Structure 1
Amino acid sequence: MTIKKFLKRTLAILLLLLTFLFIYLATPRVTNTDPKFQTELIYGDPIDTTIKNILTPKKEPKRTRSIVILQNEKIIYEYGPTDKIMNTASIRKSILGILYGIAVDRGLVNIKKTLAELKIDESIPLTNQEKTATIQHLLMFKSGIYLPSQGEHDSQITDRPKRESYKPGDYFFSNNFDANALGTIFMQETGMSIGKFMEKYLAIPMGLQDFSEQNVILGDPWFWPKKESKHKQYYIYLSTRDLARIGAMIANEGQWGGKQIVSKKWVAQSTISYSNLKENHINYGRYDGFGYQWWLSSDTNTIWADGYGERFLIINPNQNLTLVEQNFTGNSLLTTGLWLMNGNMDSGIESLIKAHDLIAK
């Protein structure tokens, strides 16, 4: 073979490999669906111009942002691509809390069961004390289990207490062990994947517009260095309009469109505070309480879900009001990598809070 032919063949192989690599990097984790069960949201009277001006950015934000506000199940404000599915990050935990409520209502789960009874362990074996933690303790972030877990970051690592420094039920600490183990337990006890259960018992009865069971991914779909754990992180992808619909259901005591999706009892039980965060040595900012995977603010009587990448769900049951902001943080290795390189964490949360306060008045 001549040098010229060798170089041509080598170049062709390199181009082919680069093409495959680009396809791999650009392939989205999940794609938008058009489910047969979807129902359109209804529009209500729009918010007044003053509040609209507060919410609408003066110039286009540096990344894709969408906002939806619902009151009495009707859209009163929307901005951006509200149908675009996005990684909800830690908002996933609040959604799983709702699914637990549905499972409890159906007699599939007993939240008083201990990890020992459930035969739940970890790669670093749990101690006898740690195994006395119940599902309820995990829902409250009071398991007393302080081990490395998938997807943890920042204060979850730096502020993690020493093992067995607190007994289950004694101390609040927001950690991914509790959240990820809840995913493992949920699938074990219901006999269904999180995605399948969510589609059957939440998406279909609520008529979510952009959801299918494939919107929930268990474990990272690509090769990433992971912390060894028996409990995989789960990802839930939702459009902003679907996330707002779920929040509005909680605002209305578990009802949507006249249907009881999750019991009033569970909504009440899961949205009261079991922890005084003002007495906690870690500063949790605007939140002073925590329920079953819900952050709480007593100053405004609001319920919050909060996800990495500056995404927020604010629920005001007294006003039957729900406000959602989502920011696109990627849906493939390529788009996620570009977002991480950009380091863009801009948020409209202060505007969202101001808008909430004005609407609530």
Structure 2
Amino acid sequence: MDIKIKIATGVLAIGLLSGCNEPGYPEHLQVQRIDQKHLQGLLIMPKHRTGPLPTVIVLGGSDGGLGGAQRTATALADQGIAALAVGYFGMPKLPPTLNSIPLEYFNSALEYIDSAPELNRNQCQQVPVVGSSRGAELALLLGAKFKHYGPIIAISPSSHTWGAIGDSNSAAWTLNGKPIPFVPRHSNPDYSAKRFVGRDYFARDLNHTDAKQAAINVDGNSAQVLLFAGDDDQLWPADLMANNIAEHWQGTHVSSRITKVIYPNAGHVIAPGMPSDITEASLSNNQTLVLGGTPAANATAQQDILERTVNAIKSPICYDSKAAFNADKLNELRELVETTNTSSLVLMRSGDVVFEHGDIHQKHTIHSIRKPMLNALYGIYVDRGIINLDATLGELGITDITPLTPTEKQATVRELLQARSGVYLPSAATSAGMLAGIPERGAFAPGEKYVYNNWDFNVAGAIFEQLTGQNIYTAFYREIAVPLGMKSFKGEYTTTDADTDIATLTVDGFYQFEREKSQYPAYHFRMSAYDMALFGQLYENYGVWNGKRILSRDWIEQSTTSYSVTNRYMDFGYGMLWNVINPNDERPNRAFYHTGVGIHMLGVYPSSDLVFVHRVQTETEYEFDQQNLYKIISQVFGALEPSEPME
């Protein structure tokens, strides 16, 4: 900007503090002034902690110094986060204005975090960055130029880089000693106006063709990006610029990494910790700077931004930015799939379909992949404290046509989900292959042995409904399908028996009873490949969708931890309603999957940022060679190739 914003003291330009536990900060926070040759900042974190804290870098805007960054850092520290507010101009040992600030300077903040035992990078080996206004522009630049920063939380952001403050012909930022291109000013803002409104000037400059050179290259970002803007921002058109970024990513394989929220009637000052009534500000020359918004709308935005930001910092989604698909090899994959009687196939990355075959929106039965669907419901209601995994079958009053023995009644809900109940009774939807693997009744006590047994899974479904009072299909629709935006699953269901022709069904699920065997039905799902891929992406995202947490990371970790060995040669195991591909010397990262009749498959591969769904139309007569599924999986991973890493 050509105008240096100096908001009244006590509003944005808060005086610097030194030492710890300074006046004005809550007693439960520790405040440490950082005054080093290559780093000026303020570290604010909870005083009482048991180990390293999730850590974030906080960047202020054109107010200079630490200014508003301190307030946002304090708000984040109040949520159990170590927040490092970093000054980058307008302080001793720093440039006096926002002019030619080297991006490499911020690596000093990374070095400080790496050297402090109470601080740490997140599980993606990155450090989150929160920035507001020009600080948001900076945060997006850091994410675009370096791999070490993420998630990037940009509040009142810019889609482009702008010139230096006080000198619109100079660059605000440099990299490797070279100025980063910026938007030239053509609009001639009237800085003598008694009430300065900058929005239209910025919008006009963005419309010039020479603005394109200054667009921030968000394609290079290797992390989540969260964009927050008010639609009444009068300082600059943050809402339009947030839309520019989102539209640029639309249709790319990384578009779901971005969360964009535009707040009605909110203005420019919506960073957490800031006073919500700053809708305009007095400048040193007696001018009024119009910032926009209403106090109520600003407060609503700040609270939502705080919640989403804390969630992103504590539970980031990790992406493998070094992997891409080879187009020629994907064509070879397509040629193979067309010969196999595969009905549909989806490869999804970051929520976007990067390869598809067949009608990916056609619903049909997913067979045993119903179990991960139940896993998600369990995760939600366990976290709500409604389901106790350590409750026993006896305590829950579980019985069947064949009464349970006292030993069988000691099996827990957790052991049902792990397929280790020790209860070997007849059950609905048991295949001949499954039946052949079931031991004699009483051969093993609860918890002693893994046995893939539909009695466990069917009873787990009944217990879910008993404890929650929720129908499985209705609950799944409300808790999972709606938040994820599933296209085909509507929660409609019916009841069938073994003689029902399921090819005639149009519903999303059905209870299959075989009452001569058991009083508990199998709960079958009918889903499309696309909706299944969205479900897998939820687990790929470690439970977060569009910036909101649906499943806890802890639940996903529990569910995809191997409790039983299922294939010693391949080092596969079984978790809780998920098959687990364990990490080993050949593959350092865990993955998980579930199959249905050996030919349907939902695979989640977090280290490759990949969800794989394979379907066969098994509701009618079909032919599919199981070996072709292995060939397809091999070609999928053969199509992955490394791309150029970021700095």
Structure 1 length as normaliser, TM-score?
Answer: 0.78
**1:77 Cα deviation after fit:** 1.1
The residue identity in structure 1 corresponding to 2:401 is: S
Contact kept? 1:42, 1:73, Cα under 8 Å = no
- Tell me, in whole angstroms, the C-alpha distance in 1 between the residues paired with 2:346 and 2:340: 19
**1:358 Cα deviation after fit:** 4.2
- Tell me, in whole angstroms, the C-alpha distance in 2 between the residues paired with 1:287 and 1:310: 20
Larger strand fraction of residues: 2
**1:218 Cα deviation after fit:** 4.8
- Tell me, in whole angstroms, the C-alpha distance in 2 between the residues paired with 1:211 and 1:202: 10
Contact kept? 2:560, 2:580, Cα under 8 Å = yes
Contact kept? 1:271, 1:291, Cα under 8 Å = yes
- 1:175–1:325 Cα change, 3 Å: same
Larger radius of gyration: 2
- Give 1:272's aligned residue: 561
2:597 pairs with 1:308: yes
2:498 pairs with 1:289: no
- Tell me, in whole angstroms, the C-alpha distance in 2 between the residues paired with 1:287 and 1:194: 32
- Tell me, in whole angstroms, the C-alpha distance in 1 between the residues paired with 2:641 and 2:405: 48
**Counterpart of 1:116 in 2: which secondary structure?**
coil
Larger helix fraction of residues: 1
**1:43 Cα deviation after fit:** 4.4
Contact kept? 1:303, 1:314, Cα under 8 Å = yes
- Give 1:351's aligned residue: 632
- Give 1:252's aligned residue: 541
- Give 1:229's aligned residue: 518
- Tell me, in whole angstroms, the C-alpha distance in 1 between the residues paired with 2:337 and 2:436: 37
**1:64 Cα deviation after fit:** 5.2
| Equivalenced residues, count | 306
1:318 aligns with one of 601, 607, 629 = 607
**Counterpart of 2:441 in 1: which secondary structure?**
coil
- 1:58–1:345 Cα change, 3 Å: closer
- 1:54–1:296 Cα change, 3 Å: farther
Which runs of 5 or more structure 2 residues have no equivalent in the other structure? 1-249, 255-323, 502-512, 643-647
CA RMSD of the aligned region, Å?
A: 2.4
Contact kept? 1:89, 1:235, Cα under 8 Å = yes
2:408 aligns with one of 122, 130, 153 = 130
- Give 1:44's aligned residue: 253
**Counterpart of 1:70 in 2: which secondary structure?**
strand
- Give 1:90's aligned residue: 368
- Tell me, in whole angstroms, the C-alpha distance in 2 between the residues paired with 1:310 and 1:359: 22
**Counterpart of 1:289 in 2: which secondary structure?**
strand
Structure 2 length as normaliser, TM-score?
Answer: 0.45
**Counterpart of 2:367 in 1: which secondary structure?**
coil
2:436 pairs with 1:158: yes
2:490 pairs with 1:196: no
Larger deviation, residues 90-99 vs 298-307 = 298-307
Moved over 6 A (4+): none
- 1:290–1:196 Cα change, 3 Å: same
**Counterpart of 2:394 in 1: which secondary structure?**
helix
Contact kept? 2:369, 2:596, Cα under 8 Å = yes
- Give 2:182's aligned residue: none
2:458 pairs with 1:180: yes
**1:153 Cα deviation after fit:** 1.0
- Tell me, in whole angstroms, the C-alpha distance in 2 between the residues paired with 1:232 and 1:289: 26
Matched-pair identity in %? 30
The residue identity in structure 2 corresponding to 1:288 is: F
Q: Deviations over 1:14-53 (max 9, x none)?
A: xxxxxxxxxxxxxxxxxxxxxxxxxxx9542783223313
Which gives a bigger RCO, structure 1 or 2 (Cα 8 Å, sep 6+)? 1
**Counterpart of 1:142 in 2: which secondary structure?**
coil
Which runs of 5 or more structure 1 residues have no equivalent in the other structure? 1-40, 280-284, 331-335
**Counterpart of 1:305 in 2: which secondary structure?**
strand
2:354 pairs with 1:66: no
- Tell me, in whole angstroms, the C-alpha distance in 1 between the residues paired with 2:565 and 2:450: 9
Q: Deviations over 1:235-263 (max 9, x none)?
A: 10111011011101101111122221111
- Give 1:5's aligned residue: none
Q: Deviations over 1:165-187 (max 9, x none)?
A: 11111100101101111111111
**1:318 Cα deviation after fit:** 1.9
2:497 pairs with 1:220: yes
- 1:221–1:52 Cα change, 3 Å: same
- Give 2:388's aligned residue: 110
